[in-house]
Chain A
């Protein structure tokens, strides 16, 4: 169902951290390290209401990018990628909607999340969360991670964009 190159999907499946860049109201980019999740077609990130300024930015301007750059956070995989896309903030029920949508993906990367969830009473606002659903539009890929050379660029098929 996805169109991203297979090596990029591999990065998305292992990355513990990616850089989400959003656009502030004054037009400046701002970058947030977050854990990226991938369901084979869409990229999901998520944010506590505590750190929700990025959500406000996305609601004003849904154009975002996700970069996967750190081999340490990607089980030693040296490849790099940047995915530009359109984001949607899913915030109908910050208390539990994210659990239904992405907890299974999050758990796969961070099994300890269940332990933290059991202690939800200790940090209740941290688990009031919104989901950032990103539809990839364009992908830049650097095999071997060497960004001194131009990336391989691929675009979403027209039906995926529609």
Chain B
């Protein structure tokens, strides 16, 4: 039985020629291109004998087919290559049989470049560790400080905080006097608490092995990976989390000093606890399929009501109702981002909602939840709790269907799904901005009257 099966060898047929290499008598690799045929039944390649360069029969030979498609001004794509190692037989009628013994290769159509890179992270760490040992000092990968901060804290996700906080503030402005200093403190404090939660999430995902197990990270999922990539140490990451939490708590206390309120204190404490319990033991909410509920609560009612109470000093129904669509849509960001992570998450015992559900159920739940978010806006307006201009948020509804289709089509293709993950982030952002615009119009209308 051939050492290399016919199907594997047949992959060589896709290459118009191969490069045959061996180590010559002087110890240098010697390579020559030649045409060939595959003989899958016998597990061999039949090479046309190169002129003046006899292929040796007493040593290992490797034949490599490679392909790219040049893209002028850009580079190239459609990268793939396949190497077949073996021993050559004596030539016969101008043909040399290479008996295949093993193969290795890469095809970016099968393993996307980003996944290939992720799978190679251990090699990078090993290489740099060896280099460090030779040098006698650490040689580590680096990023410019600004990029490192952006990556470590996942700064672009701050829209998740800004939407509910600004909504809470604008609703408060409709209900009474407005304190700009408190508003600024709430925005800064809420943002710091969010970044602290992001970093904490990374700490526990790194410790659990979820980040290392995930070979399909995208710009929206898979965490910051700064420790996995050795860009920062775990000690540094913990220091950043503690610093951000401390800053958020100090600002929260400053708001409480300006606007003493038991409700605000309770909301603040609940926010910090949910942020920690999201990935931290013993609760590890996201590992139990409760991540969406935690995120919905944290970036919906807690942020929005917190901002409202900080300004007004009291609870009310309107900010709670207005927070629900935002809460559902932010939970859906997490939900869709979990789709490419599901393999790594499952391997690390992180039983997210997406890990627990079938693909059909995941798709249905997304569509239903997205529609409910917009139905709540209609209900809020119909019951007179929210002002009618907020109906403008319905303009973002088509995005629900776009993302829903994207999930259905690209459930198993993380990098094709990525565009729809981006649309899903826009769904939350645009809906939030439209709600804000609706409230701004309501404020102006009230002022004119």
Contact = CB atoms under 8 A, between A and B. Distances in A.
A104 interface: no
Interface stretch (A2-10, A37-45, A47-55): A47-55
Contacts of B60: 27-29
Nearest to A50: B120
A22 B68 CA distance: 21
Interface string B11-35: 0000001010111100111111110
Contact of A147 (B32, B76, B114): B32
B66 A29 contact: no
B92 to A, nearest CB: 16
B68 A19 contact: no
Interface string A120-140: 111111101000000001101
B2 interface: no
A121 B143 CA distance: 7
Interface of A: 16-17, 19, 21-23, 27-31, 33, 48-53, 55-56, 61, 63-65, 67, 69-70, 72-73, 75, 80, 82, 84-85, 91, 94-95, 110-113, 120-126, 128, 137-138, 140, 145-151
6 contacts: A49-B128, A56-B127, A65-B31, A67-B21, A84-B28, A128-B142
Contact of B131 (A29, A91, A126): A91
Interface stretch (B49-57, B278-286, B311-319, B387-395): B49-57
Contacts of B74: 110-112
Given A31-B83, A95-B142, A70 B147 contact: no
A50 B124 contact: yes
B33 A147 contact: yes
A33 B81 contact: yes
Given A19-B19, A19-B31, A65-B30, 17 more contacts: A19-B64, A21-B31, A23-B23, A29-B62, A31-B31, A31-B64, A50-B124, A51-B120, A56-B127, A72-B68, A82-B32, A85-B28, A121-B143, A128-B128, A140-B32, A140-B53, A150-B53
Question: Which 3 pairs across A and B sit closest by C-beta, in order of nearness?
Answer: A150-B52, A21-B29, A69-B33
Decide if the interface of chain A is mainly helix, strand, loop or mixed.
mixed
A21 to B, nearest CB: 4
B151 interface: yes
A65 B33 contact: no
Contacts of A150: 51-53
Q: Majority SS of interface residues in chain B?
A: mixed
A29 B23 contact: yes
B31 A67 contact: yes
A32 B32 CA distance: 14
B70 A148 contact: no
A48 B124 contact: yes
A73 B70 contact: yes
B147 to A, nearest CB: 4
A151 B53 contact: yes
A55 to B, nearest CB: 7
Nearest to B27: A63
A148 B47 CA distance: 11
A19 B62 CA distance: 12
Contacts of A151: 32, 51-53
A28 B147 contact: no
B335 interface: no
A31 B21 contact: yes
Contacts of B143: 120-121, 124
Nearest to A26: B60
B72 to A, nearest CB: 9
B136 interface: no
B75 A19 contact: no
B28 A65 contact: yes
B19 A67 contact: yes
B39 interface: no
A147 B50 contact: yes
Contacts of B52: 149-151
Contacts of A49: 123-124, 127-128, 141
B117 A50 contact: yes
B364 interface: no
Contacts of A33: 64, 66, 68, 79, 81
A149 B51 CA distance: 4
Nearest to B228: A125
Nearest to B131: A91
A70 B66 contact: yes
Interface in B74-128: 74-76, 79, 81, 83, 85, 114, 117, 120-121, 123-124, 127-128
Contacts of B270: none
B73 A111 contact: yes
